[in-house]
Each structure stands twice: as C-alpha cells, then as structure tokens.
Amino acid sequence: MSASASRRIAYETLRAVHESDAYANLLLPVSLARAGVSGADAALATELTYGTLRRQGTYDAIIGVAADRAVADIDPALVDALRLGVHQLLSTRVASHAAVNESVELARAAAGRGPSGFVNAVLRRVSRDTPGEWMARIAEGARSDDERIGLLTSHPVWVVRAFRRALAAEGRADELDALLAADNAAPAVTMIALPGLADRPADGRATPLSPFGFRSEGGDPEATVAASDGRIRVQDEGSQLAALALARALPAKAGERWLDLCAGPGGKTALLAAEALKVDARVEANEIVPARAGLVRKAVAGVPMEVPVSEEDGRSRAARDPGAYDRVLVDAPCTGLGALRRRPEARWRKTPADVPELASLQRELLDAALVACAPGGVVAYVTCSPHLAETTAVVADVRASWGDAVEELPARDVIAGIASSRTDLPAQTDGTLRAQLWPHRHGTDAMSITLLRKA
C-alpha cells in the first residue's frame, strides 16, 4: 500500500517547511501542479498541510504524551509523519485505519521499516481516545493558564501574551479566544478588481470593507487572475485597505510622486498604481530582495503605467531622494503574526528575540520614509502584525524624534470613509489614531495602519 498523492505532497511540504524553512503557501501550489494533482485531491493536500501546521503545537504535545518522549527526541522525519497522522485522526473525517496506515507508509519510505513501527504504535495509541480526551490530558499538564491556552489553541505562549496586550490596547482583551480560534481557521480567498482597470466578475460577492474586493463562489482564482492579465488579483482585504488608506488619506493631485518603499510581492504597489492612474500621479517601487522585486514587476504588469522598481535597502533608497515624494508606503518587514491563518508556520519560526531587531529596522525605515516625504506629504506605516512593539512603540519613537514636524492623521476615520460597511475600529487606549484590523473581527489579516503627515 503506498501513501496517496495528497498525503505524500502534504508530507513533503511539511518536511521542506521544517528542514529548509520553506513557505507552505509558495511551495504547495508548485508541488501540486508538478504532480498534476487538482480538484478534491488538491483540496485534501491543502487541508492536511495547513491544518497540520496550524495545530502543530497541540499535536506535538499529544505526540509527546502518546510516545512518552519529547518531540525533540524523535527523528524529525518521523515527527512530521506523526503530526500528519494525528491531524487526520483528531481533526478530520478520515477513517482511522487510513490515517494510521498511510502515515506509517510515509514513515517507512522516509526512515525504514523499524522506525515506521514506532509511528504505527504512537498513532494507534492516539486513535484510542477522543479529541476531547486528548485536549483535557494536555491541558492538565500545563504549568500556567497561558501555557494551557497556548497548548489548546496551538500558539506559542509569547504570541498569546502579545495578542492579549494588543487587544487590551483597544479595551477588547476579552476577544482573545475568538482571535486565536480565527488563526486556526482557513481564510476565505479574497480578490480585488483593480479600480478603473477591471470589473468584479458576475459571480463575485463584494467584500464588506474594501470597495474593490470580492470573493468568488467557485473556480480556480489563479485562472481568473490569468484571464484578466493580472488586473484581477488575489489580495487580502486588509492589504487592500492599507494601500487605499495612503492613496486617499488626503485628496490627490496630478503630478504627485508616490513610493512603495518595501514593495514585495507587489499587491499594494499594483493597487497604488491603479489609484494613481485616476489622478495622473506617478508610482515608484523598491524591494531589496531580487526575487520579490521580480514579483513586484509582475504584479504591476497589468497596469498601463511605467512603475520603476529598484532593488535597494529601503533606508538608502529613501535617503537619496529627500523630500521627493508626496506619498510613501512603508509596509515594513515584521514578525508576520497578523497572517498566521495564511502562513501558519510563522508562529513556530519567530521568537520574542526577533522583535527588537525588527522593531529597530522598522523605526529606521519609517524615519527614512519621512526624510523622502515632501512637506505636506503622507507616509503610511503598515505592519502585518498587531504586536505593540512593532506598531505603537515604533511610531511613538519616530514621532518623538521628529516632534512637531510630523502629525498623525486619523487612520481609523480614513478607513471608515473607504469601507463599504461599518468597520468596528475602536480607539486605542494610548490615544494614537492608528487602525488595527483583526481576522476574528474583520475577516482580514491583523494589519496595523498608521498615517503620518509631514509638516
């Protein structure tokens, strides 16, 4: 008996994620296409991959109990086979015998007959109890309330605490459970018809916030993108709002110059270019990573405007054109904690030690963007993270250094004026005017948007 193609691809993706720091959202579609897997089989491979990654922390705790040894002491190739098997046993309708047998087959192919017997024994132990019984068992072993929450919701403790603090900054700490649950749910595929360049398809259902967003009722979104020459794209609604907030923070004028300073992979750049076309403004982009710069060029190919794309460190790129731009977007490198629905492996890769270094880079990029901004111009500081050290703290530090030369614009009001329906963006308790989007409340990535106007 050989493992099905769906399970084999899911397993190979998990191995690449854990061995080579691959990104599942980039690798999996390529693997499916190369194997000629589509339809229901592709859907199964996707669910197995993402579901296993999202619940990895919970499954590792269960495996540790069932195997009577720490996951760190088990061959990594066997661990991924075990995770995949536990996911099928406890979180899908896959028959137990199929979940066990095919996971054992994957382990045998990777490590041989002897180790696969260990996988067989552990999974049969897991299969004897219900999901509820396993959850109760690992919860009993937690050393604190936050560790219990982390184990049951499959989030590192430091992420649980960071989310609680960010919600508390809005007076909404009681929404923590809903947020953690939303992180473990597969997000709907959201698309955009670039304004002035494409129309929403007849079967597209308008999204509640972005006026140009929609969700298709069926079909392959990539086929729709290809048929539109890139003028219809897959893009999270939060990403759409971030670009629109910059474009519409103040009335735009002909001849303005706009800069997307950290542009990869280019979705926001394309939307900015479409918006700029309507007012005869110009858009430039910068992306330090060459491969991502290539994605930016591809993203803007469908917009009838020349968008120069440079490949430099954003700090030096901004410094060489002081006061040249009327609008600058700083979609800063961050922990990515706001996109755990779509990039579940990020929660296991980042640590608290990553935050200070990222926050320092974010401050430098925002400061550089303000240098490049013309008097009266606007900078949008955006992170796909709600962590207060990457949002409020960065802006506070930069504003303190610029003093009265910079004022904060009401990002919440700007987005409320753009949105198609009520936004539910409560005020921040520290008095800042930034907008914080949330997956559980808005159905978007947890995008933070701050607008600064240079005096």
Active site residue 384: yes
Residue 238's nearest CA partner among 439, 452, 454, 72 is 439
Tokens of 141: 């072993």
CB contact at 8 A, 242 and 268: yes
Instruction: Considering only CA atoms, give the Rg of the chain.
Output: 23
CB contact at 8 A, 190 and 234: yes
Phi/psi for 68 (5° steps) reads 60, 40
> Could you tell me the CA-to-CA distances from 189 to 181, 240, 341, 425, 436 in Å, in that order?
18, 13, 11, 23, 21
Residue 411's nearest CA partner among 425, 424, 398, 401 is 425
Cα 352 versus chain centre, distance: 18
Residue 216's nearest CA partner among 224, 111, 295 is 224
Phi/psi for 136 (5° steps) reads -65, -40
Cα 59 versus chain centre, distance: 22
Tokens of 18: 């854990």
Choose, from 262, 334, 373, 384, the residue flagged as catalytic.
384
Q: Is 80 helix (H, G, I), strand (E, B) or coil?
A: helix
Residues 367, 18: Cα–Cα separation, whole Å: 35
Place of tokens 């990654």: 53
Residues 111, 67: Cα–Cα separation, whole Å: 17
Give burial (CB, 10 Å; 0-12/13-18/19+) of 199.
middle
Tokens of 330: 């700083």
CA atoms within 13 A on the CB side of 284: 21
Place of tokens 């270019």: 273
Phi/psi for 291 (5° steps) reads -65, -40
Tokens of 195: 């304004």
Q: What is the DSSP letter of 350?
A: -
CA angle 352, 357, 361 (to 5 degrees): 140
**Residues with catalytic function:** 384
